[in-house]
Amino acid sequence: MNDYPEIASPARTQAILNRYRLSAKKSLGQNFLVDLNILKKIVETANLTKNDNVIEIGPGIGGLTEQLAKVANQVLAFEIDQNLLPVLAETLAPYDNIEIINQDILKANLPEIVGQKLTPDQPLKVVANLPYYITTPIVMDLLANPVKFDSIVVMMQKEVADRLNAVPGTKAYGSLSVIVQQQNEVEISFIVPKTAFIPQPKVDSAIVRLSQKSSGDEQPFNHKRFVGFVRGCFMHQRKTLWNNLLGIFGKEPPAKAHIKSILADLAIDPTDRPEQLAVQQFVSLANAFHKVGLLN
Ligand SMILES: C[S@@+](CC[C@H](N)C(=O)[O-])C[C@H]1O[C@@H](n2cnc3c(N)ncnc32)[C@H](O)[C@@H]1O
């Protein structure tokens, strides 16, 4: 499709940055991936076909975007940094199936944009090398979005990936693990060393694949309320579940009595710490508190 060397080589990336007199902005999490093998592995992990539409977050100078455009139908790439637009116009000029949207992904109206730009009946996948300073808000927004994605394959700091994938009883297990795992199968596909980037970040990264669970498990009565409830349960991680629940619902008699009887009904020990509970136990708890009118 083009005769240029791939964008994501260390030499070409550095040459582009020099020519446009750009230096990577730390404040926007700009670490550009310059290892073509890793980019290809990311695309393989996303399992893209010519029928798939892709949302990319943060195309940077276009290294990953280029690889996505080669195998997917259409790529919509959200880039907040206006200074990168002329770069992307140059690097991605050979591709006619990419649209760059100069918006903050956390503020973009995805349902409207996707509805306007993409055909509705094609699979929609997210593939991105996420800006690390907002990894968690982006993942949370994607999961809560009315737009449903067939899969999400994203690079993040390894430490955050470990939290997404953590099992109960471990230090990494927290509200993020529960909220993400409630809806998704989580897989850490592979680790990316910091040497694969310009500039190099301080820590290694991981490629995480999220795909919607198709289990018949009990579902939370409301996703947003469930998220708030789980965060409340982990508010004071070293305190008991009992104390965290009192923190959420108050110590007054009706709330206290409900907490006591719901924990007893669900056979949950009030002296357990929040990290000892399985994902489905949080769902049962949230739904039980909703049923008695404490969580609405
Ligand atoms: C880790 S870099 C990835 C760049 C490129 N995709 C790559 O793999 O080399 C993250 C990118 O996200 C962009 N970005 C940061 N915050 C953003 C936001 N709120 N919305 C959209 N893009 C953002 C940065 O400007 C940067 O281009």
If you write DSSP's letter for every residue of the chain in order, what string do you get?
---SPPS-SHHHHHHHHHHTT----GGGT--EE--HHHHHHHHHHHT--TT-EEEEE--TTSHHHHHHHHHSSEEEEE---GGGHHHHHHHTTT-SSEEEE-S-TTT--HHHHHHHHS-TTS-EEEEEE--GGGHHHHHHHHHH-SS--SEEEEEEEHHHHHHHTPPTTSTT-SHHHHHHHHHEEEEEEEEE-GGGEES--SS-EEEEEEEE--------S-HHHHHHHHHHHTTTTTS-HHHHHHHHH-SSHHHHHHHHHHHHHTT--TTS-GGGS-HHHHHHHHHHHHHTTS--
In percent, the amount of the chain with pLDDT more than 70 equals 98
CB neighbours of 26 closer than 8 A, spacing ≥ 6? none
ipTM of the complex: 0.99
Give the per-residue pLDDT at 4: 54
Q: Is the pLDDT of residue 279 over 80?
A: yes
Task: Calculate helix-pair angle for 223-233, 241-249, nearest 10 degrees.
Answer: 130
Fold of 10-212: Rossmann fold (3.40.50)
Give the per-residue pLDDT at 120: 82
Mutate to test the pocket of ligand 1, among 34, 45, 67, 81 (most ligand atoms within 8 A of CB): 81
Spatial CA neighbour of 110 closest among 81, 144, 134? 144
Q: 164 among the known binding-site residues?
A: no
| Domain covering 223-291 assigned CATH 3.10.20.600 in the classification | no
Q: 269 among the known binding-site residues?
A: no
Q: 250 among the known binding-site residues?
A: no
Q: CATH 1.10.8.100 in the chain, residues?
A: 223-291
Distance 181 CA to ligand 1 centre (A): 25
Give the per-residue pLDDT at 3: 46
38 in ligand 1 pocket by Cβ < 6 Å? no
Mean pLDDT, residues 76-90: 98
Distance 156 CA to ligand 1 centre (A): 12
Q: Ligand 1 atom closest to Cα of 78?
A: 21
For atom 4 of ligand 1, the residue with the nearest CA is: 60
188-237 per-position pLDDT tens digit: 999 999 999 999 999 999 999 999 998 789 999 999 999 999 999 999 98
Give the per-residue pLDDT at 1: 43
Residue 153 phi, psi dihedral angles, 5° rounding: -120, 110
Mutate to test the pocket of ligand 1, among 22, 57, 91, 126 (most ligand atoms within 8 A of CB): 57
85-125 per-position pLDDT tens digit: 999 999 999 999 999 999 999 999 999 999 999 988 899 99
Q: How far apart are CA 264 and CA 245, in angstroms?
A: 14
85 in ligand 1 pocket by Cβ < 6 Å? no
pTM of the model: 0.95
The residues with which 7 forms a beta bridge, in sequence order, are: none
Task: Calculate helix-pair angle for 223-233, 175-183, nearest 10 degrees.
Answer: 150
CB atoms within 10 A of CB 264: 11
Give the per-residue pLDDT at 2: 44
Q: Ligand 1 atom closest to Cα of 104?
A: 20
Q: 31 among the known binding-site residues?
A: yes
Distances (CA, A) of 271 to 120, 171, 243, 260, 275: 49, 18, 9, 11, 12
Residues in the chain, how many?
296
Q: 51 among the known binding-site residues?
A: no
131 in ligand 1 pocket by Cβ < 6 Å? yes
Q: 62 among the known binding-site residues?
A: no
Q: CATH 3.40.50.150 in the chain, residues?
A: 10-212
Q: Quick one: tokens of 65?
A: 């975007």
For atom 6 of ligand 1, the residue with the nearest CA is: 59
Q: Ligand 1 atom closest to Cα of 8?
A: 9
For atom 2 of ligand 1, the residue with the nearest CA is: 30
Q: 267 falls in which pLDDT band (50, 70, 90)?
A: very high
> 30-44, 123-137, 244-258: which range is least confident on average?
244-258
Question: Nearest 5°: CA angle at 171, between 165 and 172?
Answer: 30
56-66 per-position pLDDT tens digit: 999 999 999 99
81 in ligand 1 pocket by Cβ < 6 Å? yes
139-184 per-position pLDDT tens digit: 999 999 999 999 999 999 999 999 999 999 999 999 999 999 999 9
Q: How far apart are CA 272 and CA 227, in angstroms?
A: 20
Spatial CA neighbour of 63 closest among 14, 21, 124, 112? 14
Distance 105 CA to ligand 1 centre (A): 10
Distance 134 CA to ligand 1 centre (A): 10
Q: How far apart are CA 213 and CA 185, in angstroms?
A: 6
